[in-house]
Amino acid sequence: MDLIKKTIEKITPLDTAAMSLAQARQNNLTKPPGSLGMLEALSIKIAGITGKEMPKIERKTIITMAGDHGVTEEGVSAYPREVTSQMVFNFLSGGAGINVLARHVGASVTIVDMGIACDMHDDPRLVNRKIGFGTKNMACQSAMTREQAIKSVEAGIRVVEEAAEDGLDIVGTGDMGIGNTTASAAITSVVTGISPFEATGRGTGIESSAFERKVRVIEKALSMNNPDASDGLDVLLKVGGFEIGGITGVIIGAAANKIPVVIDGYISGAAALIACLIAPQCKDYLIASHLSVERGHKAVLNHLNLKPILNMDLRLGEGSGAALAISIAEAACKILDEMATFEDANVSEKSA
C-alpha cells in the first residue's frame, strides 16, 4: 500500500486562484458571459486541475486497460473470453475504434495487459502489467486477493506516471475485457446503492434470458462476497477486475500529478467509484466524457456528481468516448487561450 498512500498524499485541492483568473478571462472574452456553456466551465475546471490560468491541451493519451473475468463462466456475455486477447491484437495493429478516434483527436494510445487470460507475445507496443490470467469467478469466490487488488491499482499509478514523464496534458481511460460490464454493475450496485437489476445492462448485446441470468449472477456474487461499500479495495477484490483496478490507479496517479482524467463509459465509471472511495479528493480531477447506454452508468455519474460532455448512445468502451471528449476539452482550453478579449478586439462591452 506504500505507493498508493504516497500517491494519495500528493493530491491537492483544485487551484482556486487559477480558476478565478480563468473565470475573469472568460468574462472578458468577446461573447456574452456564459454563452459557451460547458466549454467555459470545462476550461475553468482544467485551469484548477493544472494550476494554470490558460492551460493548453497538446500532449494527449488514452490508456486502455485489458483483463479477463472468471465470471464469464456463468454465460453473462454474448462473446467468448478469447475476444479480449483478439481485440488487444486489433488495438496493437491500429484497427480498432479507439485507434481511429485517437488518431482523429491527435492522441496516443497505451495498451496495458492487466490480466488477459493467456500469454501474450512480447510486443513493444503492449505494456505488460499482468496480475494474473483473468480474475476468479466472483459468483463462486472473491474475484481476486487483496494483494492482487493493491498490485492492480499500483500498476495503474505506475503506467500513468511513466506516461507523464515526457509531459502529459490530459489522459483518457479505456478498457477491454469480456465480462467487465458484469463486474461494473456489481461495483455500481454496491457503491451507489441501486439494485443489481437497476445496475445491469445488455453489455455486448445479450438476449433477455442471458440478461436475467446476468442479474442473478450479480445478486449471487454480492450475497456471497458481501463487499464493504465504504472500502474501495474490498469492493475491487471481491467483485472487480484487474483492468478496473488499473484504471483506478490511473485516476489516482493522474490526480496526484495534476493531470485531468477523462473517464470513458461504464467500466471507467466503476473504476472512478472505487478510486473516489480510496482517495475522495481525486473526484475533482474527473471529467465525464459521455453517458453510456449501459443504464447503471447514470447512477455512477450522479453519485460522482459529474455531468457528461456527450450523450451519443455509445457503449463500445476502449476509451472511445474519452477520445471524443478530449477533443472538446482541448477546444475549451483553446477558447480560453486564443479568443480575443473586448479590449484586444476593440469591441464594446455590455453597458451597465
Find where cell 462591452 sits: 349
- φ/ψ of 27, rounded to 5, equals -70, -20
- Cell readout for 105 is 483527436
Cα 246 from Cα 113, distance rounded (Å): 10
What residue type is 45 in one-letter code? K
What is the four-CA torsion angle of 143, 206, 262, 7, rounded to 10 degrees?
Answer: 0
Angle between helical axes of 208-225 and 232-239 (0-180°, round to 10)? 130
Return the H-helix or E-strand segment holding 45.
helix 37-50
End-to-end CA, the chain: 57
Cα–Cα separations (whole angstroms), residue 125 to 113, 168, 242, 352: 11, 18, 20, 59
Cα–Cα separations (whole angstroms), residue 65 to 110, 175, 276: 8, 5, 19
Task: Name the nearest CA neighbour of 222 among 202, 248, 240.
Answer: 240
Longest dimension (CA), the chain: 70
Size of the chain in residues = 352
What is the four-CA torsion angle of 59, 264, 304, 255, rounded to 10 degrees?
Answer: -30
Give catalytic status of residue 161 as yes or no.
Answer: no
Exactly one of 161, 243, 318, 330 is catalytic; which is it? 318
Cα 302 from Cα 47, distance rounded (Å): 23
CA angle 106, 308, 39 (to 5 degrees): 65
- Cell readout for 246 is 488499473
Q: Which positions are catalytic? A: 318
